[in-house]
Amino acid sequence: MKKRLGPAERIYPMPVPIVVSGSMGEPRGFTSSWINAVASTPPTLVVGIRKSRASLEMILSTGEFTVNIPSPELVEEVDYFGTVSATKADKFALTGLTLMAGATVSAPIIAECRFALECKVTQTVEVGEYVVVFAQILETWADDEILDDDGNVDITALDPLVYIPGAREYHRLGGKVADAYSVGKRISERA
């Protein structure tokens, strides 16, 4: 039996990267679970940012940011970056996270994150108290240790943290269920 729960912004699951803007000397960072790819021509992502976020002004003035995918050992840092404002604390100094220069943007990437993306803002759309920022993905980075022999990301080695809205929980990724573009053929073959 299905029950109506009312309108709520719930997609299960969500990613939970740390978005970094600014520069090596003046970095800003916040955690976002409202982010995803939306197009591949060119590779584009969107991120919904509350207008009151200190990072938003930096992202819009520089037109650049990075997206840093954390693993479970960074869960305290992820939560801290999501709940404390950059106007109230030097978040990078307090966490001790290490910043590295990117290749195509001035915004730094977080060395402790095993996968990161460099992004350039292409347009913005206002939705109530939020700005949805569209950005082209200019570069991606992965740690040597998470690449397999073919140079592809080994998801078990990346071990991305997962966010569950509503319950407000961070989870690990679980085991593989099936290969995409493959397991559905069992249904096609019935036709």
Contact positions with a copy of itself (CB under 8 A) in 129-168:
129-130, 132, 134, 136-144, 147, 151-155, 158, 160-168
Decide whether 58 or 80 has the Cβ nearer to a copy of itself: 80
Q: For strand 109-110 and strand 162-164, is the pairing parallel, antiparallel, or unpaired? A: unpaired
114: Cβ contacts below 8 Å, ≥ 6 apart: 69, 71, 142, 143, 145, 146, 157, 158, 159
How many CA atoms, within 13 angstroms, populate the side-chain half-sphere of residue 128?
A: 3
Residue ranges in 79-108 that form contacts with a copy of itself under rule CB under 8 A: 79-84, 89, 94-95, 100, 103
**What is the DSSP code string of 43-64?**
EEEEEEEETT-HHHHHHHHH-E
Provide, rounded to whole angstroms, the least separation between the CB of residue 106 and a copy of itself.
Answer: 16
Residue ranges in 16-75 that form contacts with a copy of itself under rule CB under 8 A: 17, 33-48, 67, 69, 72, 75
Decide whether 46 or 86 has the Cβ nearer to a copy of itself: 46
Decide whether 54 or 132 has the Cβ nearer to a copy of itself: 132
